[in-house]
A and B are shown apart, each in its own frame.
Chain A
């Protein structure tokens, strides 16, 4: 688990500065504090900062093949590396390390881009083929590990995080109005785009290759759902049994590490299940980590305590107070590299620090269960609204919504207004975005705060059309739940949950998170399970609950769903945080020219004065504030925070002329 970066000359060999690469690599030190390395020749420089997890002493990167013609820098883990290694040895490949990294290289020699279908893991890597002058870059299927790139003049520049690309002074830094527009609709950018102009994301499940002028970006994997004739014939017991087998294997291979592995434990079904399976089947001396909230409305402590006492695990927790959530927002934005509309990533940032300080580099988490097993309220909402859409004037059908939101619907007034909210678009059940459109439109109302400058840059731009154009061919043939699952996984999960709320806030404190529910075998299998078995009636995660029915207490199996969230208004506006006033001041709003300053002033006053604040106003506050922070940290004052360049532990210098332009801790190889 690491950071990777590099520069490729596109048209002719030219001097690549080690100083520049070490500065870029230095911006990834938090991702890999243990060691760093560089390969450089006349065409390319690739560097890696390493968080050592497998083969702690022998796995220094870059790693090469037998004749040193292929070189790799790698961020991630390949969980099935032991099995792959055995088959490669049989084919005659020689290994000089015990790492999973070296497996990829030899598998690439055998299969080229088809190697990606054989890898089970989370990864982003770059292979340099020095003979054919070809660069090959790939990301894992669902986008657990990040990869960004840009073309600047004659050079192709890439990195695990955008800040490393910006550390190259040649790269222009500018916010992308279209990217920001997308964030204020989907909570994230769509695959391929970022918040910054001309900085691209390599989409999840894709690879990029460059040979000469030939640039290829291709998707090799996507979420898929079975059409009626492709569904599994298994009954619910058989499905439960097979998916349990897959889940146990998925957990087992994710415990492969030369360092101890812990678990996040929130007290919800998903993480309680994983923790129980680890404890019962693999590791009796288990350490777990959880978040507690000062604000009781957000706290799940009672369920965590119950699981801890049941399992006898060694549990540690952080207390997320409104004060420290508020204070940490600017640091978190430095890591997310994208504006936020909620503050949920902040407590996770605090938690990864606790895990790091406790001596752990790896934890398993419950991420992905809601998406693949059908757990979110938006899925049940979609089923109810589809049912309602058949008789839009029915007064009985919308009453099913009471079951989803019993606390809100207890209040008759809220019920009447919420019913009208869910009725929007009920006459168009066939529209591709039936499940998500009311929420996206609600978020997009915040765009009214945009300055004229931003509005005019996006006035002819239709972000929904861009999304529609990129949907898979089969999409319109899927049922309502499958469509909703696809949109949720493709956009919100891949580019928000796994990034802002996943990799970024974990790697900020050098912590690798591993997600057993997101093993591609489990995703592919659940894609073949009929929707009515994923959500039985309105019983969400029906199969997952069956998997856990004998090992989890009823109180966890049947507990009301508690979305993980963090308080906004009380974290940002009640503690007189100086930075909030600074970024929302007339002066800063006018000078950045991203938002209408007088509207923001009214919003802030409204939130400060009112006791109860609406979801919309809270979301607007976070969105505006974090965009201001992003603009400050990445555009206006990028170099204000001194970050030490990497001093590489190892350098493979294959340039045709000698350049004495670096310092290395150890030996240099040529």
Chain B
């Protein structure tokens, strides 16, 4: 499953207040000032709730959270590892 569409909708509504024309899948949220430190926590809460995953503190890093593509990959990886564990 591709989570990018849902993530994009959340990011545009929540952080770009509906004006998401400039948001590409690889746009860096932090470099472009789309999301700040508290925004990161909002994003994390959203994916935890929506996809029923637990984001560990040491996973709160740029490599997992800085673009739609990266968050999408991170969610897939988490869901795969959680299903492996069951």
Contacts and interface: CB of A to CB of B under 8 A. Distances in A.
Contacts of B30: 420, 424
A241 interface: no
Contact of B41 (A413, A441, A448): A413
Interface stretch (B32-40, B67-75, B77-85): B32-40
A614 B59 CA distance: 22
**Interface residues of A: mostly helix, strand, loop or mixed?**
helix
Given A414-B41, A442-B36, A606 B14 contact: yes
A441 B38 CA distance: 15
Contacts of A445: 33, 36
A615 B40 CA distance: 13
Contacts, number: 57
Contacts of B17: 448-449, 596, 598-600, 602-603, 606
A329 B19 CA distance: 29
Interface string A21-43: 00000000000000000000000
B57 A448 contact: no
Nearest to A610: B42
B60 A602 contact: no
A500 B40 CA distance: 32
Contacts of B40: 417, 420
Q: How large is the interface on A (under 10, 10 to 19, 20 to 34, 35 or more residues)?
A: 20 to 34
A606 B22 CA distance: 21
Contacts of B19: 448, 596, 598-599
B37 A421 contact: yes
Interface string A280-302: 00000000000000000000000
A412 interface: yes
Interface in A546-581: none
B38 A413 contact: no
Residue of A449, A596, A603, A616 with most chain B CB atoms under a 10 A cut-off: A616
Nearest to B42: A614
B27 interface: no
B14 A417 contact: no
B57 A420 contact: no
Contacts of A600: 17
A602 B60 CA distance: 27
Interface in A238-253: none
Interface in B51-69: 57-58, 60-62
Contacts of A420: 30, 37, 40, 62
Contact of B44 (A413, A441, A598): A413
Given A445-B36, A614-B39, A416 B14 contact: no
B38 A416 contact: no
A448 B16 CA distance: 8
A32 to B, nearest CB: 44
Interface of B: 13-14, 16-19, 30, 33, 36-42, 44, 57-58, 60-62
Interface of A: 412-414, 416-418, 420-421, 424, 441-442, 445, 448-449, 596, 598-600, 602-603, 606, 614-616
Q: Which 7 A-B pairs have the closest CB atoms?
A: A599-B17, A421-B37, A416-B60, A417-B37, A614-B38, A417-B40, A412-B57
20 contacts: A413-B41, A413-B44, A414-B37, A416-B57, A417-B37, A417-B60, A418-B37, A420-B37, A420-B40, A421-B36, A445-B33, A448-B17, A449-B17, A598-B17, A598-B19, A599-B17, A599-B18, A602-B13, A606-B13, A614-B38
